[in-house]
Amino acid sequence: MQRKLFKSAALLLTVTGVTILTAYKSFTENPGPLYSPVEAKDIKLPAGFSASILASDLGATRHMVVGKNGDMYVKLSKMKDGKGIYLLRDTNGDGAIDEQKLFGEYPGTGIAIKNGYLYSSSNKGVFRYKLNEKEEIIDFDKPEQIVEGLLDKGRDNAKPIALDNKGNLYVTVGSYSDNCRETGSGKGMSPCTILDSAGGIWKFKADQAGQKFSDGKRFATGVKNAVGIDWDNKTDALYVTVHGRGKFDDMYPQYYTPKQSAELPAETLYRLKEGDDAGWPYIYYDHFQNKKMLAPEYGGDGKKTAGEKAINPLVGFPAHLGPNALLFYSGNMFPAKYRNGAFVAFHSQSAELKKGYLVAFVPFVNGKAGKWEIFADNFAGTDLVNPTGPIQHRPCGLAQGPDGALYVTDDLNGTIFKIAYKK
C-alpha cells in the first residue's frame, strides 16, 4: 500500500493507485476532521470483512485500547512532541477523527482500561489516569505512578500489561539477553541469573501507588519476552505470546544449519498460572517436532528433548514472526467462530512461511486452542518472496471497539486500521 501524507493545507492520500484529497485542518485552529477513514483495499481479509485507515503518520504506534465511548488511546514507543500517548476522538460519530491530543511524558507500549482508570506503562514502570463515567481522562497532567523501578537495559524493554478481575496487574519484563550465554562464550549461565529480574511476568496490585519492583511477585518465569499479553474473562486466565530466541548456527553450526536457524524456534502462545515456568533459556519449542528441546547452550544438539517441568505452549507459530499483541475477542460484530478466540498481531516475517506482517486468529473451544489461521494479511504491501518495494506496515497493537470492530496499529508508519464485518 503506497501512502503519502502532506500536512499543510491539504491531505493527499494514495491508496492502491487512487488519489483522495481531503481538507486537513488543525483542531486548534478550526475544529473538523483531522483524519477521514479511507478504504484499505490491499489488506486481505475473509469474506464479509473490510479494512479502513483511520489515521496515518502518528509515529511509532504500539499497543492501543478503545474506551466505551469510542475514544482511542494509543501508546508510542518513541516520544512525539515530548509526549508518548495519543488520544484520538470522533466527537460527532461520523467515523472521522476530529480531535487528537498528545499526553504522557514517557514512551512505552502497555495500555489498558480497567475499573475507571486508564493504565499505561513506560519502559520502567506503570501509571494510571482516573476516568470519568464516560471513560474520559479527568487530569492528563497528573497520573498516579503504580509501579516504578522495573529493569530497563534498552533491549526488549517494553512493559506490556494486563489486569484481572481481582485487583491484580500483570507486567511483562522481557529479557535483555537472547540466550543467557556467558560473556564471550557459547555456554549458558547456570543458573541464569537474568531470571531474577527479567524473562518473566510480575504481578502487582492494581490500586496501590508507589510500588517498587521488590513489591511485585514473579508470577511466571522462563518467559523470554511476552509482548502480547491479555487476560481472558471467558476462561479467567492470563495468556501471553512470546518471542523466541535468535540464531543457533552462529555458535553451533555442527548441530544447526542456517535453514534450521532461520526456522527455529517457534514463537509461542501460553496460558499461564502462578508459578509456571515456560523454560527459557534452558529449552526452546520445536514446532516441527512438537517437542520441548534442550538449548545448545545447555548441552542440546537439536535432538535432545528437555523441560519436563516446563509448561507446554498452546500454540507454536513459525519462528521469528514477532507476536507483538494478543487480544481475546468478546464482541458481537464478527461471526460466531471468532467469539472468545484470540487475535495475534505479528510484527515480522517467517522464512518458513515466506509470509509475515499479518494478524492471525486462534479459535478457542471450551478453553482449548485450535489450529491458528491467517486472518488479515498483506500489511507489508509488497510480495515478501520477491519484494518490489519497502515494507509499508508492521502490525503491532490490537484493540476491540465498543461496536466489536478490531483495531490494528502499525509502528512503522504510525497507521491505525479498523477492521469491520458486515453480512
Residue 316 maps to a domain: yes
Instruction: Report d(CA 367, CA 346) in Å as an integer.
Output: 23
State phi, psi for 13 to the nearest 5 degrees.
-120, 125
CATH number of 326's domain: 2.120.10.30
Q: Specify the number of domains making up the chain.
A: 1
Q: Is residue 32 part of a domain?
A: no
Sheet holding 126-130, edge to edge: 111-114, 117-121, 126-130, 144-147
For residue 35, being part of any structural domain is answered with no
Cell of 69: 465511548
For residue 242, tell me if it sits in a domain. Answer: yes
- Choose the weakest-confidence range: 11-15, 247-251, 371-375, 412-416: 11-15
φ and ψ at residue 330, rounded to 5 degrees: -125, 10
User: Which tens digits make up the pLDDT trace of 42-96?
Assistant: 999 999 999 999 999 999 999 999 999 999 999 999 999 999 999 999 999 899 9
Residue 25 in any domain: the answer is no
Q: Is the pLDDT of residue 1 over 80?
A: no
Report, as an integer, the average pLDDT of 182-197. 93
For residue 409, the enclosing domain spans 41-421
> Domain for residue 84, yes or no?
yes
Q: Give, as one character, the DSSP assignment of residue 339.
A: T
Q: How many Å apart are CA 145 and CA 381, to the nearest integer?
A: 40
Asked whether residue 13 is assigned to any structural domain, the reply reads no
Confidence band, pLDDT 50/70/90 cuts, at residue 31: low
Distance CA 326, CA 328 (A): 7
Is residue 12 in a domain? Answer: no
Sign of the dihedral through C-alpha 314, 398, 206, 106: positive
Cα–Cα distance measured from residue 238 to residue 223, given in angstroms and rounded to the nearest whole number: 13
Average pLDDT, the chain: 92
